[in-house]
Structure 1
Amino acid sequence: MVEQRRSETDGTAQHFLVVFPGYHRSWAAWIAQTLERHGHRATLQRWDPPREVPLEDSLGDLLLSSGTVLLVLNDWFFELGPRPAGEWNDALRGFVAHHADRFAAVNLTNRPLLPATAVLEPASLWALSAEAAEERLLSRLGLDRARTPRTFPDRVRYPETRCEIWGEVPRRNPRFTGRDDLLNEIHQRLSDAERGASACTLLGMSGIGKTQLAAEFAHRFSTDYDLVWWVNSDDRNIQRDRFGELAVELGLPIGSEPGERIRAVRDALRRGEPYTNWLLIFDGWDDSEGINALLPQGSGHVLVTSRNRAWTEYTDVLEVPAFLRAESTGYLLRRAPHITSAEADEVAAEFGDVPLPLVQAASWLGESRMEVPEYLRMVRERRLSTVDEPATGEGFPQSSMTSWSILLNRLRRSQPQAIDVLGLCTSFAPGRIPLGLIRAYPQTDLPQELRWMAADLPAWTRALDTLVNYSVLTRETRGPLGAEMGPHQESVHMHRLVHDIVSKLTSEENRAIHRHAVRTLLAEADPGNPVDSRNWPRYAELLPHLEPSGALGSTRPRIQATVLNCLQYCLRSGEYNSGLELAQKIRDHWSRMMDPLAQPMLDLTNQESYILRSSGRFREAYDLDRRFLERVQAAERGDGLAELITQGSVAGDLRFLGRYEEAYTLQSQVLEGNERLLGPDEPATLVARHNLGVGLRLLGRYTEAYELDLETLTRRENVLRPRHISTLNSGSAVAHDLRLLGRYRDALARQEPLVRLHVQVLGPQHPQTLEARVQLALCRRREGGHSQDMSSAMADLLDQLARLHGREHYRTLSFLTAYGNYLREHGDLSRGRELIDEAEAGYRSLLGPAHPVATGMLSNTALVMQAAGERADALAMSEAALAGLTATLTAEHPWVLGCALNTAAARNFNGRITEATELSRETLRRARHTLGHEHPLTLSCQVALAADLRAVREQEEAGKLEEDALLALTRTLGAQHTHTISARQRVRPYWDFEAYLG
């Protein structure tokens, strides 16, 4: 109960008791505030008089308040209770008429009210503007407008004014019953929570009414929000896609990659721009994985529905109980007005007051007009006589299973086409079902029994209406409110439990027909290009239905192609966990029905290993590819192309495992074979050439890598065109090579326009764009860049990589390393050490301690120790890194040379001058041979040797080496480059390890 403050107008203020059913709370709040604005007092009174209390007594209780009782009416108001026929008319003509001076009313509907309502003289506010409604309200109550109406800082929105963004909230259920205290509890918890932590989870078993409760909350409290967005969360891909769609509504300048959109939306909600009052509802979020990456924070509210108790760790949790008995009987009496209160009570008890089966029972009784004794007899007898009754667990009353069986039997007799539609729905996954595909693709080769669905629209509509009337399905529509929808956007919602029960009550023959139809429709709806991110929302919608439709076990090439396209979508969109789960399911089906070396199995293996590598599971990818390659090579009839594809995949695995020489040898064979079988300009050949360049780079053969990558770039520009995603990737590879060759200016000049092109073509947050931006940051650093802006840009880029891949992903670890080295180099030793330690531990866990990258990270740790004055520990770490890399790579590898440069410095700082000088001299000799005399690393080795020679008093040689190095640095990098300045100032040079897996 909310009491408003007294008007400043002395002697004229009146008091009004605003009486409303719970679902008209927003109207009551607006009416109360309107009255207060004009100098009066108002008290809000939610009202649902219990049926057992005589209506006159309940109305008499309202008169205990002072002033006028203002009733907020619509046609449902008179079903509160509900009451036997005639009770309301009697009370209106008697009690209310006798106290007519104390009662007034407003009417919110254009549907007819009870005839006796005339005694209240209700003022109709239906379909009026806020100004007109205010005028009519005041007129009905005989009130004058205040000369200067009061203003409120948090003014209640006029209920007819929809919030600015209203995103696919289910239609309001006009039969929603009770739950008022629960709804107010949700509202109170969200309102009282600290800013940024306003999240509440509705927890309960299936069928308890969580979704209906969340939908009613959205409608009832919509005036509190500028934005309300509904996210179906049964499937992770659909959930991410739907959440990302909010970016478009918010006008955020981003592309179509899901991760990019999600990050942009979360950031906008956190900042409260453009809306601070927002409500997000995640319906059916049972999978707790990835909660922190998706759950938004900020000034708005989050409502989650779930069966998973893990939510207690993340949000406030509210248990959703069964109906109160009065709510159960009230609902039954409204839907089936021919039954008595005692009969309603008996039905409610039979179904344990659980909302879902009660809704179905009420629908049955209301539609069939069957008497309760007969209905309960059928339920109980069928339950006792059925030995294979489907079970659902979760405390769901067994009697409800029987009631579904009764309903289906009736429909088979009276409306068999509705049974067809229902069976079709059970061949999709539960939740949102894109049933509009039937109309979107009318030429689909459907089974004979189902062709009426596409050809006979009136019959289709009647069948759907029947299922909706019996509360088996609810209608849903995708897209903006009020916009005209195409058939492919039309959908229905089928509760998971209903789906499970009906599936078990459907014959095997019919199920086979329906599943065939659904998988055929899924293939028709396949856009055919999972690489294009514009198609990802469609693939996210198709993905959940592959398994229930039987698409995974189909022998039809068209459907198998759709299955593989959905898997490719998981790879391209970064949904690696979903992709690996799908790949395993596909393999389980296909391994039982096709040759293990068939082309689909080859494609499956290739994609699965790619996903494994992308998610950092390199050893598993190698084992998978190796087993398949052995099968291909052992086959009696050789397939040269299949062998090449699998060898290319194995070569990729070997690169990530640090076996660079083996990978290079195998990749060379792959390129040669592709050129021989396909020609030099086929996409597969271009991929093989690109990957060979990666292998050369990892071997430290930078000049060869640059020449090969430049050739690949030229070919891709000619064959695929300059803006193709693969061409852009080749451009980054060339810039990478230039930087490793020490041509920092050239690398920067190439990478800057390339990043702009990536943003234009792929969007700023696409994974490949982020990698291009990483390359740009490294180019700028090597060119000598240092500023607060650069430091902030690197921090921001690290944050974006972590949000996209996770903190432990190898790409994030790589940039953690680069940023940590940058911070150490520029004085932030504490933060730099944190990042280097994190990256080293991450690589050791991911790759094992013997991997070249994990070993090379020890050199970075040694540099941090050196800067912190821990000289003995730094020397030990440097020696370990040098020994480890020398054992796994050649002595001339640039990584080994850089590590040797650092180790010589550590020996010098620890007083081991002779050993330092020997190592520096040998390192310079090998660097000149491998990298050339003017490479920055070679010149650093030359400056380091000069420092060691000065320490052993070989001044003449030291001076000559130093002078030559300064001239070369000035000529190649410029007089003001940091390397040149440091050498001039005789600062001991170092080399930081750039962690790179390929």
Structure 2
Amino acid sequence: MWRTLVSAVAGLLVLFVGSLAFNAASGQSRWPGPLDHVRVHPWVVLLILVPLALIGLWQTPRRTQAPPTPFAYRLPPRNTHFTGRDATLRELRQRLTSMNDVAMLAVHGLGGVGKTQLAVEYAYRHLSKYRFVAFVDAEHPDLVAPQFVALAGELGLTDVNSDQAIPRVYGKLLDRRPWLIIFDNGEKPGTLTHALPSGGLAGSGHVIVTTRVSGWSSRADVIDLDVFTRRESVELLVRRIPGMTAPVADRISEQLGDLPLALEQAAGYMGYNQTAPEEYLSLLTSRLEDMIGQGELADRPAVVVATLWQLSVRRLETEQPQAVRLLELCALLAPEPIPLDLFTGSPDLLNVPAGDPLAWNTTVGALAGLGLARRGDASLMLHRLVQAAIRAATPDPVLNEARVLLCRALLAAVPQDIHAEPDARPRWQKLLPHVIALTKDDPPAECAAETAVLLRRASEFLIQIGDYSVALPLCERALAIDESLGGRNAEVGFDLITLAQIHRDLGAPERARPLAERALRLHDSCLPANSPAIATDLATLARILCNLDEHSAAQPLAERALRIDEAAYGPNDPYVSFDLVALANVHVDLGDYATAVPLISRALRIREASYAPDHLYIGYVLLFQARVLHQLNDPTAPDLARRGARILDTRLGKTHPKTEEAFALVNRLR
């Protein structure tokens, strides 16, 4: 304010002094008081006051024309809880402003991932950059033109019908440049062709289309929007819910798959019901299918995760019924990549002709095209909440039938002989999550026996990679199922011996012994005396007895196991190598290292001829040989230990207990 006052005073002084100078020039002989100095030296005074006046005038605030207020048509309210997405918003702005004329960009992603919220947030952040912003609901293409009729009225166009509305609106927007139009929840590009600007119809405008449907790359630039990062998920929950801690928020986010809509819904549920975060987590863990229908959003009360994909599923039921069947099957598996050959290798799963690649590709593509699944080179993956919503909406008889078919398909797909098949490990790694997901609930009676076998074989694989804590409950469930069925002595024996191996490797030989002894008794009662299954029982029991310092009892068991497998498989079979290692363990425990060395060396030769060079079984026997040779002061022991440790590092990772134990041995042998 003082600058304005100085300017005004300076201006008045200039005028006043000018008038005095004029009067002085007119011949006045004397002026009263100090003013006479002005009469005598008027130009000096002017030279002093004029710069001051100019300075005051220069500092006077200049009036600038305010930018026109942008006009927004049907733009939803801004989400005050909008979280994250800063990098994506910057990318959105950069892409739109780097194009000439009309810039068109499609934001593509799974339902509930926050596409609409992203577009609306972009509009508010850059509202001052546009003279006109409009939001058009594009889910039903037939209703787009009537919205443009209303839009034309807002732009001052009268007597416009549906056929005229779209071109006339874009024509009017030539006077409202730059502009932004958001087409929300668009379908395929062809359904919106009539509503999108083209040619010289309108320039200097931006179009954002949010869509779940693939296929926009030929019509627009595409941003694929994924779920939140875990940091963003935790940030949203901690900010929204009093008492929410980061660890609990992390676990809730894991259960909800970091889906933004589900996180908002969870916050709404906890806020309305005053539910403690730990209690909500417990409900999510035990009743996920029910919880995705609970809670609502303040700005979208009718939208919940449970019904989010219903429209897409109804469309599939009409256009691609086999895709719905595929969706129901995938909903029972893990939210991990599902190998597509699981379905192509089991014709009973789908009524799609196995020899018709086009029909199969169309069936799989329908799920990916509608954003219900993500397709890889040879896999399909569903978000865990899409799976939960499909399970919740599918009748129990249909789900049970799907469980039976999937159980049998998985049993046919997993490697039957984990020890002898060279490619068993990578195949099991792909299928294990789906075996665990499918078998977590009580099985239908029609596939109870197959479920028990699946659980046991999964346990055997987990033993191979040293994951005993996961293997134990799976094997216990297999045993419980087989015992409940009755008349399955051989299968019960297989469960028991696998369970005994787990307890032995967990360092509990006293718990393992009665299990192995019972397995041996059952198999002796129902299998031929030379059965390889009995050899497995004998070798396992021998190693357990060694752990209990009963070496004299262990040696004949190990020797008998070796004889049975050599007769059954031949001297160079991988199963023989396990018997050789078991017998070598007996001699090592007896302190007879010289007798153990040729047994271990023979086992190593068999495995190197049967498995890939970096197979875990080779790594294990190398480390065993290194320990024994070290006792005999053999200088080759350190090299063997290093080679074995590298294999475990490659296959299991540095942090695995067996890898750490292997590198500890390497350090001791230096």
Task: Please classify the TM superposition score into its range, dividing by the shorter chain length.
Answer: 0.5 to 0.7
What letter corresponds to residue 421 of structure 1 in structure 2? R
Q: How does 1:18-29 map to 2 (within 5 A)?
A: 29=90
Match of 1:568 among 436, 448, 460: 460
Q: What's the CA shift for 1:574?
A: 3.5
**Aligned residue number for residue 579 of structure 1:** 471
Match of 2:414 in 1: 526
Kept in 2, the 8 Å contact 1:526–1:539? The answer is: yes
| SS in structure 2 at match of 1:475 | coil
1:696 matched residue in structure 2: 587
1:595/1:774 Cα in 2 relative to 1: closer, same or farther (>3 Å)?
farther
CA distance in structure 2 between the aligned counterparts of 1:83 and 1:185, rounded to whole angstroms: 40
Supply the AA of the counterpart residue of 1:573. I
Q: CA RMSD in A?
A: 6.1
Name the amino acid aligned to 1:446.
Answer: D
1:440 counterpart = 2:328: no
What residue number does 1:327 align with?
300
| Residue number among 638, 645, 666 corresponding to 1:748 in the alignment | 638
Please state if 1:213 is matched with 2:286: no
Shift of the 422–305 alpha-carbon distance from structure 1 to 2, 3 Å rule, reads: farther
In structure 2, the gaps of 5 or more residues are 1-61, 99-122, 159-168, 184-188, 209-219, 241-245, 266-276, 286-291
Q: 2:669 aligns with which of 761, 779, 785?
A: 779
Q: CA deviation at 1:679?
A: 5.3
Tell me, in whole angstroms, the C-alpha distance in 2 between the residues paired with 1:468 and 1:628. 48
The answer to whether the Cα contact below 8 Å between 1:551 and 1:563 also exists between their aligned partners in 2 is no
1:201 alignment counterpart:
250
Shift in Å at residue 624 of structure 1? 1.6
TM-score (norm 2): 0.57
Q: Hey, what does 1:90 align to over in structure 2?
A: 153
Cα displacement (A) at 1:89: 3.1
Distance 1:492 1:453 in 2: 27
Question: 1:122 and 1:321, CA in 2 relative to 1: closer, same or farther beyond 3 A?
Answer: farther
| TM superposition shift of 1:736 | 1.1
Q: 1:519 Cα shift?
A: 3.5
Mapped to 1, the partners of 2:458 and 2:584 lie a distance apart of 30
Unaligned ranges ≥5, structure 1: 1-9, 38-61, 128-158, 172-181, 191-196, 218-303, 313-318, 329-347, 368-407, 480-484, 781-998
Which of 204, 221, 226 pairs up with 1:123? 204
Please tell me whether the aligned partners of residues 566 and 576 of structure 2 are also in contact (alpha carbons under 8 angstroms).
yes
| Cα distance between partner residues in 2 of 1:639 and 1:536 | 30
- What's the counterpart of residue 24 of structure 2? none
Question: Pick from 476, 497, 501: which aligns with 1:610?
Answer: 501
User: Aligned equivalents of 1:666 and 1:11: distance in 2?
Assistant: 102
The alignment status of 1:451 with 2:369, answered yes or no, reads no
Task: Give the distance between the partners of 2:607 and 2:563, measured in 1 at CA.
Answer: 18
Q: CA deviation at 1:734?
A: 2.8
Larger Rg: 2
Aligned to 1:293: none
Residues 1:186 and 2:236 aligned together:
yes
Partner Cα distance (1:530, 1:625) in 2: 20
Q: Secondary structure at the match of 1:201?
A: helix
Counterpart position of 1:903: none
| Number of the residue aligned with 1:503 | 395
> Which whole-Å CA distance do the structure 1 matches of 2:294 and 2:392 have between them?
22
Q: How far apart, in 1, do the equivalents of 2:430 and 2:179 lie?
A: 49
Distance 2:238 2:145 in 1: 31
Shift of 1:663: 3.2
- 3-state SS of paired residue (2:489): coil
Q: Structure 1 length normalisation: TM-score?
A: 0.40
Query: How do residues 215-614 of structure 1 correspond to structure 2 at under 5 angstroms?
Result: 308-309=281-282, 322-324=295-297, 326-328=299-301, 348=302, 354-357=304-307, 360=310, 417=321, 421=325, 424-425=328-329, 428-429=332-333, 434=338, 436-437=340-341, 440-441=344-345, 444-446=346-348, 451-452=351-352, 454=354, 475-479=372-376, 485-486=377-378, 488-489=379-380, 494-504=386-396, 506=398, 511-512=400-401, 514-526=402-414, 530=418, 532=423, 533-544=425-436, 546-547=438-439, 554=447, 564-593=456-485, 595-598=487-490, 600-614=491-505
Q: Encode CA deviations 1:359-416: one digit per residue, 9 max, x unaligned.
A: 64x779x98xxxxxxxxxxxxxxxxxxxxxxxxxxxxxxxxxxxxxxxx9xx7xx789
Q: Size of the alignment, in residue pairs? A: 512
Spell out, residue by residue over 1:170-201, the C-alpha distance to the aligned partner (whole angstroms, 9 max, x if none): 79xxxxxxxxxx989629969xxxxxx89943
Please state how far the C-alpha of 1:590 moved relative to its aligned partner. Answer: 2.9
The 3 A distance-change label for structure 1 pair 719 and 358 is closer
* Distance change in 2, residues 1:71/1:437 (3 Å): farther
Contact kept, 8 Å, 1:436 with 1:490, in 2: the verdict is no
SS of residue matched to 2:155? helix
CA deviation after TM superposition for structure 1 residue 421, in Å? 1.4
Change (3 A) 1:539 1:27: closer
Structure 1 residues 650 and 306, CA, compared in 2 at 3 Å: closer, same or farther?
farther
> How far did 1:575 drift?
3.5
Give the match's secondary structure for 2:373.
strand
**1:502: how far off?**
1.5
User: Once the 2 structures are TM-superposed, how far is the Cα of residue 91 of structure 1 from its aligned partner?
Assistant: 1.7
User: CA separation of 1:659/1:499 partners in 2, compared to 1, >3 Å: closer, same or farther?
Assistant: same
CA distance in 2, matches of 1:604, 1:520: 19
AA partner of residue 568 (structure 1): E
Shift of 1:610: 2.2
Cα contact 1:28–1:72 (8 A) shared by 2: no
1:537 Cα deviation from its structure 2 partner: 3.4
CA distance in 2, matches of 1:567, 1:719: 22
Tell me the SS of whatever aligns to 2:372. Answer: strand
Paired AA for residue 306 in structure 2: L
- CA drift of 1:477 comes to 2.1
Q: Which residue of 1 aligns with 2:179?
A: 105
One-letter identity of the residue aligned with 1:451: N
Q: Aligned in 2, Cα 1:733/1:571: closer, same or farther, shift over 3 Å?
A: closer
What letter corresponds to residue 105 of structure 1 in structure 2?
W
Amino acid at match of 2:665: Q
Shift of 1:710: 4.2
Q: Does 1:686 align with 2:577?
A: yes
Question: Aligned with 2:250: secondary structure?
Answer: strand
Higher RCO by CA contacts (8 Å cutoff, separation 6 or greater): 2
Maintained 8 Å contact 2:535/2:565: yes
Structure 1 residue 16, shift from structure 2 partner: 8.8
When residues 613 and 528 of structure 1 are mapped into structure 2, their CA distance, relative to the original with a 3 A threshold, is same
Is the CA contact (8 Å cut-off) linking 1:74 and 1:107 kept in structure 2?
Answer: yes
Amino acid at match of 1:213: L
- Partner Cα distance (2:638, 2:514) in 1: 39
Percent identical among aligned pairs is 18
Q: Is the Cα contact below 8 Å between 2:404 and 2:446 reproduced in 1?
A: no
The whole-number CA distance in structure 2 between the counterparts of 1:779 and 1:765 is 21
Task: Decide whether the 8 Å contact of 2:648 with 2:659 is kept in 1.
Answer: yes
CA contact (8 A) 2:584 2:599 kept: yes
Letter in 2 for 1:693: A
- Do the aligned partners of 1:201 and 1:305 also contact (CA within 8 Å) in 2? no
Q: Does the 8 Å contact 1:418/1:464 carry over to 2?
A: no
Cα distance in 2, alignment partners of residues 113 and 25 from structure 1: 33
Which whole-Å deviations, capped at 9, do the CAs of 1:127-146 have from their partners, x for residues lacking one? 9xxxxxxxxxxxxxxxxxxx
Residues 688, 12 of structure 1: CA spacing in aligned structure 2 closer, same or farther, 3 A cutoff?
A: farther
Q: Distance in 2 between matches of 1:723 and 1:324?
A: 53
**Distance (whole Å) between structure 2 residues aligned to residue 554 and residue 501 of structure 1:** 23
Compared CA separation, residues 87 and 771, structure 1 to 2 (3 A): same
Question: Which deviations, in whole Å up to 9, do the C-alpha atoms of 1:724-752 show, x marking residues without a partner?
Answer: 654443333232123223x1644335544
- Alignment deviations for residues 577-603 of structure 1 (CA, whole Å, 9 cap, x no partner): 3322322332333334464432x4444
